[in-house]
Structure 1
Amino acid sequence: MDAGDGQIERRLEQLHTWGPYGLLGISVVLALVSTGQVDGRVEWETDTGLVAAAIALQLWWHGTRSRRPARGRVPSRAGTAYYVLRWAIAFTLTLSSGFFAFYASAGYMDADELIPGMWRRLGLFAGAITVAGAQCGGLPPRSAAQWAAFGALLVANSVLQTVVAHLTEQEERRSRERAATIAELERTNAALQRALDENVALHAQLLVQAREAGVAEERRRLAAEIHDTIAQGLTGIIAQLQVAANAPGPPAARVHLERASALARHSLGEARRSVHNLAPVALADDGLPQALRKTVAEWGERIGVRAGFTVTGTSEELHDEVAATLLRIAQEALSNAARHAAATRVEVTLSFMGDEVTLDVRDDGRGFDPIAVPARTGSGGFGLDGMRARAERIAGHLAVESEPGHGTALSARVPLVRHDR
């Protein structure tokens, strides 16, 4: 309940407490002023006793009300007895002077608080009889005209009180409904608060899980980067040194040593680049087509295999992540071809096709059975699994076609995401 409702509640409480005193006082004053001027029927000995009884009744009820909480007051037997006694005193006083109908009208404002259920309508009707009698000139009526006026006034007062009572009951019902709605809203708010608290805890848990997943993913990515750069470079260096060791003479050995030295410098650059931003060093100054062309040419010269590179479609500058992913896939595919395929020719094709980019690597090597290769997706392995994981990381996919004795065709298809400008 807000401050405005509390103020209204206090004023109603004051009206119910002091209103009957005020109406009784007005009735007494008007009756005294009109003594001997209306009909001379005021009997002050009797009336004084009834007024004293009315005051005593009000004092008793005022003490009873003060011991009950304002918002907890509901119709009771004590309230009904108080209403009946007050009506009887007011009715008797009205027989002496019609001005005591003001006191009788006190029942209009507190019948809903004193009388339960349908008995309330009967109490209001009794009050209407007293007021109608005073309005028509006193009770009992002494002529047919007075009886007619009394009947009309009784109907008018009864209808008026019925309407007021109906409106009051509706307001009470709305008040109860509002109270029930407020209670339900409070329960709902409490449930929502509990849900919010649970969501906060769940969100914190999800953040921890996401952080752990991010750390694991970054570790896998770093491992793949090291495998695709430094490990491959070291493998090439070892291969060149082995060839140099078995060379027939110093000139041939010198060629392989120079290649090993170049691979060592390249691997060192890759290692330094990994420390900085993990972007392929080949892409530092060139776009993907140029980087792939150099990579394929250097690989073919180093391995001694005919290697060709082709670009189809309109070349576009790709997002760094897309370009790095395709270059790493090409490097891994060439590394696999060097280690396993025993190929004599390798063809690499980069195709720009509208909203997609495709990288195809084909060789004429010994091939293999893809079904027989154990799947290690998500296990942290490299090779085919590593290339497939790279493609899927940027919403792409990797397809491999191979058959023993008929070479291998690898195709990586990824979305074409242009370079940020």
Structure 2
Amino acid sequence: MTPADEQIEHRQNQFHTWGVYGLLAVSALLSVASHELLVRPAEWYAGGALLVAAVLLQLWHGPRRGRRTPSPRGTAYYVLRWALSFALTWLNPFFGFYASVGYFDSDELIAGRRRQWLGLLATVVVVASAQSGGMPFEGRIQWLLFGVLLVTNFGLLAVVGHIAQQEELRSRERAVTITELERTNTALHQALDENAALHAQLLVQAREAGVADERRRLAAEIHDTIAQGLTGIIAQLQVVANTPDPDLAREHAARASDLARHSLGEARRSVHNLAPVALTHDGLPEALEKTAAEWAGRTGVQARFTVTGTVEQLHDEVAATLLRIAQEALSNTARHAHATRVGVTLSFMGDEVSLDIRDDGRGFDGSVVRERTGTGGFGLPGMCARAARIAGSLTVESEPGHGTAVSARVPLVRHD
């Protein structure tokens, strides 16, 4: 409960506690001022006794603390107070002010809607009789006036009660809505916290998996390039050692030297790809643009880089993953595609980042490639594994003679 609600409830309690005394005192003073109670001593004694009874009844009921709930004690208090107000109004109509107290607390003293309306109707009877001049009625005019006042008072009371009931219903609905919004807001905060924790856990797993992936990739690089180069060098040197022909020996020595230089270049390339050095001083768009340019200069194939959307600084793991996917895709293009043009596109799309590498090469049959790489390898399955480790996906579209398109979509996780 807000401080404003507490203040309103405190004022209502003050009115229900002391307002009854105030209206009873006003009624008594007006009655004395009108000298009606002083006409006959018997009526004076009766009025005084009724006033004392009303005060004692109020003391018995006690001060109001908090919102009351209907109870037999409250119903008895309401009935006794109505009876005293009826008797006092019979003595003097000014006690109708005291009788009007029944308008304000019937719902808190009497259980059941029907009984509450019966209590209100009884209060309306007393108030209307006081407004029409007091009982007993003398003549048809006073009866007619009483009837009109009775219907008018009860009608107004019904309208006000209906408005109050509708307002209370709307207040309850607003309270339920506010509670639901608070619950939804709490759940949303919890979901955001869990999402952040999952992202952090995912990045840690991706980092750990990346280490293992790089070890496998480096092992494959050594096996496919350096180890094979060393094997070729040994074979050439064995020919040199076993041939007496100087020209043949020089030829095989030259081949061994070429293989050694080639193996050295492959070793340097493997070490360079082990860690994304291109991201040390540049963001992902700049690193991709330089990678495409260097690849084009090395292969002689035209490469164009494009970025779309609002560029944002990505988390290191996300940027490294996309850069390595691009490097692997370009490497595959250089080895197998025989393309003349390559396009690299980085797209920022709200909560996702997309990387597309397209070429106009000879393409391939996707089913055949899956059969060949389904049990391992470091080409397309490796790129798929990289994307999956950061909750992303990778798709490849290719047909023989129609080029190849590699598309990676990963969540946009911003830099810390």
Instruction: Report if TM-score (shorter chain) is over 0.5.
Output: yes
Q: How does 1:320-335 map to 2 (within 5 A)?
A: 325-327=329-331
C-alpha contact (below 8 Å) 2:341/2:359 kept by paired residues: yes
- Corresponding residue for 2:108? 113
Give the aligned partner of residue 93 of structure 1: 88
Percent identity between the aligned chains?
51
Alpha-carbon deviation of 1:21? 0.9
Distance across 2 between alignment mates of 1:248 and 1:58: 133
Question: Which deviates the most, 231-240 or 45-54?
Answer: 231-240
Over 3 Å counting, the alpha-carbon distance change for 1:323 and 1:136 in structure 2 is closer
CA drift of 1:114 comes to 1.2
Distance (Å, rounded) in 1 between the aligned partners of 2:202 and 2:292: 40
What is the alpha-carbon root mean square deviation over aligned residues?
A: 4.2
Q: For residue 413 of structure 1, what is the amino acid of its counterpart? A: T
Match of 2:159 among 142, 158, 163: 163
Q: Partner of 2:22 in structure 1?
A: 22
Q: Which residue of 2 aligns with 1:342?
A: none
User: Where does residue 227 of structure 2 map in the other structure?
Assistant: 231
The residue type equivalent to 2:128 in the other structure is A
What is the identity, as a one-letter code, of the residue corresponding to 2:20? P
Residues of 2 paired with 1:323 and 1:194: CA distance? 38
Change (3 A) 1:104 1:387: closer
* Equivalent pairs, count: 353
CA shift for structure 1 position 216:
3.3
1:356 aligns to 2:358 (yes or no): yes
CA contact (8 A) 1:79 1:115 kept: yes
Amino acid at match of 1:115: I
Given that residues 396 and 412 in structure 1 are in contact (C-alpha distance below 8 angstroms), is that contact kept between their aligned partners in structure 2?
Answer: no
In the alignment, which of 148, 173, 177 is matched to residue 152 of structure 1? 148
**What per-residue deviation string (whole Å, max 9, x for no partner) do you get for residues 111-161 of structure 1?**
111122211111111111111111111111111111111111111111112
Displacement of 1:276 in angstroms is 3.9
Match of 1:82 in 2: 77
Contact kept, 8 Å, 1:128 with 1:158, in 2: the verdict is yes
Please state whether the residue corresponding to 2:374 is helix, strand or coil. coil
Map 1:26-37 → 2, pairs under 5 A: 26-35=26-35
Does the 8 A contact of 1:87 with 1:104 survive in 2? yes
From 395, 413, 418, the equivalent of 2:404 is: 413
Q: Equivalents in 1 of 2:138, 2:72: separation in Å?
A: 37
- Deviation at residue 240 of structure 1 after TM alignment: 2.2
Structure 1 gap segments, 5+ residues each? 294-310, 334-347, 363-369, 401-409
Larger Rg: 1
Does residue 126 of the first structure (1) align with residue 115 of the second (2)? Answer: no
1:237-267 alpha-carbon deviations (Å, 9 max, x no partner): 2232233234342232123223322332343
CA distance in 1, matches of 2:256, 2:215: 29
Separation of aligned partners in 1, 2:342 and 2:182: 59
Alpha-carbon shift at residue 389 of structure 1 (Å): 4.1
Equivalent in the alignment of 2:350: none
Contact 1:398 1:413 in 2 (8 A): yes
Residue 13 of structure 2 aligns to a residue whose secondary structure is helix
TM-score (norm 1): 0.69
Residue 374 of structure 2 is matched in structure 1 by 377
Residue identity matched to 2:3: A
Cα distance, 1:47–1:387 mapped onto 2, change above 3 Å: closer
**Offset from partner CA, 1:209-231 (integer Å, 9 cap, x none):** 33333333333333343344423
Taking structure 2 as the reference length, the TM-score comes to 0.70
